[in-house]
Amino acid sequence: MSRALPVNDRQTWGHAYAWLVLGFICYALPWSVFAAQPVDVLRIQGSNTIGAKLGPALVKGLFEAQGMRDIRIEKSGVENEQQVLAENADGQLIRVAVAAHGSGTGFTALQDGSAELAASSRPIKDGEVQALSSLGDMRGQAAEQVIAIDGLAIILNPNNPLDALSTEQLAAIFAGEIKTWESIGGKGGAITLYARDDKSGTYDTFKELVLASHGKSLAAGAKRFESSDQLSDGVSQDPSGIGFIGLPYVRQSKAVAIADGQSQPMYPSTTLIATEDYPLSRRLFLYNAPQQTSNNSWTKALIDFAHSPRGQAIVESSGFIAQTVQATKVSANTQMPSNYRELSEQAQRLSVNFRFQENSATLDNKALRDIERVSDYLKSHDKLQHKVVLVGFGDVKNDPARAALLSKLRAMAVRRELSKAGVIFRDITGLGEQLPVAANSADEGRMKNRRVEVWVY
């Protein structure tokens, strides 16, 4: 006959059993479960173009510059989301989370407080500025940061013989009006369209620069992708495919030259994208809430690092175009005005263009940063005294003399800022509406044509 244990004995055995079970669980689980949980220091949300590679690389570079240890980039378990982890000097594990679901999601995250930085491959929209007005001036220099230049590449299957397309042809193709490759000199039969999804800044850029500027909309049958890599790989494997993508994601596909309006067809080359002359060039942005940045030192640290020479080197190694100033030789041709052709033969052009809003000679946020970059270049290359020529351009006006005057005034605005660094100029001129790099039929094209070039002897 069995006899129950006394109450005290039952309690003792119960405690022992509990410890035995807990010991077994601890033995079975990996050690990482009990490791210190990371402290989130910064959250970045937005563009897949930036977030897939460049964003994490910049964070990793910042951690390295600050002497962090055990730096690593890991998947977070959610598609198109990553985390950058590091151990600081105090042995604390810190983390920056990078979610890349499209530019529009970044501004939503700023609004609801789920991110401190919005990564965007297009400028902020009017509605977003209004929605975020409580956070400060989102178009001001304190909020809008241009961290890189990118070219929107139009990609085909490598076996497609076409080498160039106009933006007008592109609009008709992606609207579904041009249906076969053979009708425009290519091969591959019925055209298959590959496009980024509606949340993508890449799609917003393509829609603005190509579709909307020609009064078109994307055909309903286009294949849509959140991932740039998946889109590019799909085109490279599809003889009938065509897509648009950020420059680092061309991969195994074939990029073609693009013409806009009266411009010559241009391939997405480093020089043409750096000067933003390439018709489908675009700026890549980080946006922060200026009224809240002071509360998060990591926000300012990453922005400053992205603008630094070390940060711009990471931009370049990630496949984008850095904003580092370089001098390049331009081939002269008979279509150039005589004084411009003389410049091409005797001088070099810097890889920076200063651009302006319509009827304005006010430098934008990128231009203000570029003033510093150009000043540093001129000082380091002994070009401060009578070595610099500024050439202003504009969009078409009813009065060509007005276009010439506005282009000269814009060159004078750049002169005023560079003069503060001690630059004494060799010449300043305005060529008005001559040598357009884009069509004047849309705002984006006119903005590209309103520019000031910097040449050095």
Give pLDDT, residue 238: 98
Question: How many angstroms separate the CA atoms of 345 and 328, rounded?
Answer: 12
Query: 142: which 2 tokens?
Result: 């304190």
Query: 53: which 2 tokens?
Result: 């590679």
Rounded alpha-carbon distances, angstroms, from residue 287 to 7, 79, 103, 147, 204:
66, 23, 11, 10, 17
Residue 341, number of CB atoms within 10 A of its CB:
15
Domain ranges of the chain: 34-147+283-317, 150-274, 325-456
The dotted CATH code for 34-147+283-317 is: 3.40.190.10
| Bridge partners, 427 (sequence order) | 389
Give pLDDT, residue 303: 97
Within the chain, which residues score under 70 in pLDDT?
1-36, 293-294, 357-360, 398, 438-447
pLDDT in tens, 388-442: 999 998 877 767 788 788 889 999 999 999 999 999 999 999 988 888 776 655 5
Give pLDDT, residue 434: 84
Q: Which CATH architecture has domain 325-456?
A: 2-Layer Sandwich (3.30)
Residue with tokens 């079970």: 21
Residue 271, number of CB atoms within 10 A of its CB:
16
Give pLDDT, residue 296: 82
Query: 404: which 2 tokens?
Result: 């010439």
Question: How many angstroms separate the CA atoms of 11 and 19, rounded?
Answer: 12
Give pLDDT, residue 435: 81
| Shared fold status for 34-147+283-317 and 325-456 | no
Write down the mean pLDDT value for the chain: 89
Give pLDDT, residue 161: 95
Question: How many angstroms separate the CA atoms of 71 and 386, rounded?
Answer: 48
Question: How many angstroms separate the CA atoms of 454 and 437, rounded?
Answer: 16
Give pLDDT, residue 33: 44
Give pLDDT, residue 31: 44
Give pLDDT, residue 341: 93
The dotted CATH code for 150-274 is: 3.40.190.10
Question: How many angstroms separate the CA atoms of 452 and 354, rounded?
Answer: 5
